Amino acid sequence: MLLLLTVLVTAGIVIGRSGEQDIVLTGWELKWAQSGEETVAEAAAAPQEDWVKCSADRDRPLPPADVDAAWLRLEIPPMQTDSALLIDKVYGTTLKAYRNNTLIYDSKQNVNFSGSKVLIPLTATQGDGPLYLWSSGGDRGFGVGGQIRAGDYDGLMPLYVKHDLVDVILGTSLIFMAAVLLVCLFFIRVQRLSGGYYLVLVILAFGVLFITYSPFLSLVLGSRERLVEACFDTALLILLPAFTLYFERIFGAGKGRHLVRFRNIQLAYSCLCFVFLLVNVLLSYRLDKLYVIMTVNVLGVLMIVQLAYLLGLAVVYAYRGNKDAAIFSTGFAVFAVISISELVLYFTSAGPFHLFWWKWGVVAFILSLIIILGRGFARNYEQALAYSRELEQFNNTAQRSEKMEIISELAASVAHEVRNPLQVTRGFLQILGERSGDKEKEYLDMAVQELDRASLIITDFLTFAKPGLEEVDVFELSGELRHVAGILVPLANLQGGTIELKLQEGLYVLGSPAKFKQAFINLIKNSVESLHEEGLITVSAWKSGQHIIISVKDNGEGMKPSELSRLGEPYYSNKTKGTGLGLMVTFRIVEAMNGTIQFYSKKGQGTEVVVKLPADHSK
């Protein structure tokens, strides 16, 4: 669309420059007449006092009541072989051009001129005499107005065709935009974006207004001026309520729902005017005067009230921080500035002035409306993504809970069934060891150690299956962490690392001190096992609002994103001989204490575990 606008603006500039070498006729002569009573030869022989001088910088003279035609006489300067005369505005139903008593142009009553342009070719064979124009017919007067240019035919042709054709191209582009937007909205089907359908009507109505406003349309449709007027009025009657409905959908009904009342009045009046239009057509336009009052005078006032009211609301919303309202106000301000500037030029210009740039103000305003709709699309898309992420997280949590529940039941059942046979087997192995020789005793001791290891795994199973805190109490967290660090310092030293504590005092939580220590022994032990030379483990604890934050950070080997995402899964471990039960137990203990646990890690840069527990304020 931006490319189209650039092309059209460039075309407008080129068109504006194409007539710089033309000769503008500043005046001509006019003689009133009756249809069929006078030939061009008789008009040329009429006394000079019958001719009235007219000027291009004055309004078109209105005909007396007893005449229905007029002769116009123009002095044409010497022209080249391929030249032409471009009349800016022609009125009536018939236009004929004569030169040296020879007919050189005839509209043949197939066009109902209503201020449209006419291009009359001029050739050297026609002679050098004055040009006589015959204009008649039409219920809104006849004659010519605006500028009359004489110049090169190829230079005047762009002014004749393209200048008014821009309206048709622009209107067609808007209709195409409305159709594309309608198709998009049909497939999206988002309830909150139903205002987009009203924007489709707004863009479509503006497109029809541009096309029916263009004088170029009369060259295509001929004398179907009434059909063009009906399409123009219908588009206007659709535009005004659709514009208000779109505003309401985007910004709401407002305080006191005054906008809803105004919208209902507008809808009712548009429907009334549309019914009146149909009745006027059926009665062969006998109610034209009353219809003009309703659709021009009253509707014009209603349009001014609407624009002022909606702009006022938009400014108020923008002042309150509504970005959409600010965009609406900016687009409307561009339209208003361009339109007012052209009106000032129109009223202050010494000669005729053609209103042209206001259409681009409308385009800028439509763009602001499209931007507002686009922001609605973006907000709905972001909200859909947020809902999708929440749903995915909920599904993952539900699946994990279901897996944990199944594994817990299985672990509890197996642990109870296996622990007793293991204890019995261990006792028998110890008795055999006392009665065996040194070599056999060494093997039996190794078997007992493996049974003890199996017993520890079964204990982890039971803790995982039943993480409930049997002995719940309020305890000071920093002291327990010091105890855990004291236990694991020798192991860290063996790995060539150290444990550093940064603990805030007076941090109380509710839970089981034994289970708490078990969880952090698992976490710190994992950090110790990941260390290399000059390794460092920093254990920090502090209070943040209503929670206690505990951080265990190391500079070990770290983990890949794929490994990080699987932590806490049943039986997953990145150790060679690991079972993953220790971390699973830690997750369950933290969960039982109503806390959360998060892992942050990068390969080769270490890992940080952040545990967040609710603080106890009873002490």
- Condensed to tens digits (0 to 9), the pLDDT of residues 117-157 reads 788 888 877 777 889 998 887 655 688 877 888 888 877 87
pLDDT at 446 over 90: no
Closest CA to 496 of 556, 552, 538: 556
CB atoms within 10 A of CB 331: 23
Q: Locate 82 and state its tokens.
A: 């391929």
What is the tens place of the pLDDT at every residue in 604-613? 889 999 999 9
- Among 73, 76, 74, 27, residue whose Cα is nearest residue 46: 73
**Euclidean distance between CA atoms 417 and 341, whole angstroms:** 93
- More reliable by pLDDT, 378 or 224: 378
Average pLDDT, the chain: 78
Pairing of strands 131-136, 69-74: antiparallel
CA distance 320 to 262: 23
Cβ atoms 31, 46 nearer than 8 A: yes
- Cα–Cα dist 106/193, whole Å: 54
- Distance CA(10)–CA(481), nearest Å, equals 76
> What b/e sequence results for 217-231 when a residue is b if at least 16 CB atoms lie within 10 Å of its CB, and e otherwise?
bbbeeebebeebebb
Q: Is the pLDDT of residue 352 over 50?
A: no
What confidence score (pLDDT) does residue 401 get? 64
* Confidence at residue 5, expressed as pLDDT on a 0 to 100 scale: 58
Encode 151-182: b = buried (16+ Cβ within 10 Å), e = exposed.
Answer: bbbebbebbbebbbbbbbbbbebbbebbeebb
SS (H, E, C) 397-464: HHHHHHHHHHHHHHHHHHHHHHHHHHHHHHHHHHHHHHCCCHHHHHHHHHHHHHHHHHHHHHHHHHHH
For residue 527, what are its two tokens? 């950090």
488 or 60: which leads in pLDDT = 488
Give the CA dihedral 90, 96, 99, 105, nearest 10 degrees. Answer: 100
Residue 484 corresponds to which amino acid?
Answer: V
Query: At residue 551, does pLDDT exceed 90?
Result: yes
Q: How far is it, in rounded angstroms, from Cα 229 to Cα 223?
A: 12
Half-sphere exposure of 579 (CA within 13 A, CB side): 13
Instruction: Return the pLDDT at 81.
Output: 65
- Residue 4 above 60 pLDDT? no
Residue 563 in this model has a pLDDT that exceeds 90: no
pLDDT of residue 562: 81
pLDDT at 455: 72
Nearest alpha carbon to residue 198 among 332, 369, 1, 2: 369
In this prediction, what percent of the chain has a pLDDT beyond 70?
Answer: 78
Per-residue HEC secondary structure of 77-136 comes to CCCCCCEEEEEEEEEECEEEEEECCEEEEECCCCCCEEEEEEEEEECHHHCCCCEEEEEE
Which of the pair, 358 or 484, is modelled with greater confidence? 484
User: Which pLDDT does position 343 carry in this prediction?
Assistant: 62
Q: How confident is the model at residue 17 (pLDDT cuts 50, 70, 90)?
A: very low
Instruction: Give the whole-number percent of the chain exceeding pLDDT 90.
Output: 9
Q: How confident is the model at residue 351 (pLDDT cuts 50, 70, 90)?
A: very low
Does residue 468 register a pLDDT over 80?
A: no
More confident residue, 423 or 540: 540
pLDDT higher for 195 or 15? 195
Among 16, 26, 117, residue whose Cα is nearest residue 351 = 26
pLDDT at 396 over 60: yes
Residue from 515, 535, 519, 518 nearest 527 by CA? 535
Which pair of tokens denotes residue 149?
Answer: 């240019």
The DSSP bridge pattern shows strands 27-33 and 69-74 to be antiparallel
**Cα distance between residue 343 and residue 372, in whole Å:** 28
Determine which of 14-28, 89-103, 252-266 has the lowest per-residue pLDDT on average.
14-28
pLDDT in tens, 199-237: 889 889 988 888 887 766 665 665 566 787 888 889 989
CA neighbor of 133 nearest in space, from 40, 13, 234, 21: 40
β-pairing, 535-544 vs 497-503, is: parallel
Neighbours of 556 (CB within 10 A): 23
Q: What is the pTM of this model?
A: 0.52
Q: Averaged over 404-421, what is the pLDDT?
A: 64
57 within 8 A of 77, measured Cβ to Cβ: no
CB atoms within 10 A of CB 385: 10
Residues whose CB is less than 8 angstroms from the CB of residue 305 and which lie 6 or more positions away in sequence, other chains included: none
- Per the DSSP assignment, residues forming a β-bridge with 169 are none
Distance CA 115, CA 112 (A): 9
Mean local confidence (pLDDT), 22-40: 84
Q: Residue 358 and residue 233: Cα distance in Å, rounded?
A: 19
How far from chain centre, in Å, is Cα 458? 59
State how far the Cα of 222 lies from the Cα of 224, in Å rounded to an integer: 6
Sheet holding 83-92, edge to edge: 23-25, 143-152, 83-92, 113-122
DSSP-derived 3-state class of residue 494 = helix
Long-range Cβ pairs for the range 335-342 (8 Å, 24+): 335/361, 335/362, 335/364, 335/365, 336/361, 337/361, 338/364
Least confident of 27-36, 367-376, 422-431, 541-550: 422-431
- pLDDT at site 574: 60
Q: Distance (Å, rounded) from C-alpha 542 to C-alpha 452?
A: 37
Question: By the 8 A CB rule, do 131 and 76 touch?
Answer: yes
pLDDT band at 324 (very low <50, low <70, confident <90, very high): confident
pLDDT tops 50 at residue 74: yes
Which two structure tokens, joined as six digits, stand for 360?
Answer: 């681009």
- Cα 433 to chain centroid distance, Å, stands at 81
Res 18: pLDDT:
47
Residue written as token pair 């008789």: 42
CA gap 352, 348 in Å, rounded: 10
Interior/surface letters 472-497, b for 16+ CB within 10 angstroms, e for the rest: eeebebbebbeebbeebbeebeebeb
As a whole number of angstroms, the distance between CA 336 and CA 326 comes to: 15
Tens digit of pLDDT for each residue in 510-533?
Answer: 988 888 888 898 888 888 888 877
- Per residue in 564-579, pLDDT (tens digit) is 877 766 555 665 455 5
| Residues constituting the chain | 619
Q: Phi first, then psi: what are they for 402, rounded to 5°?
A: -65, -45
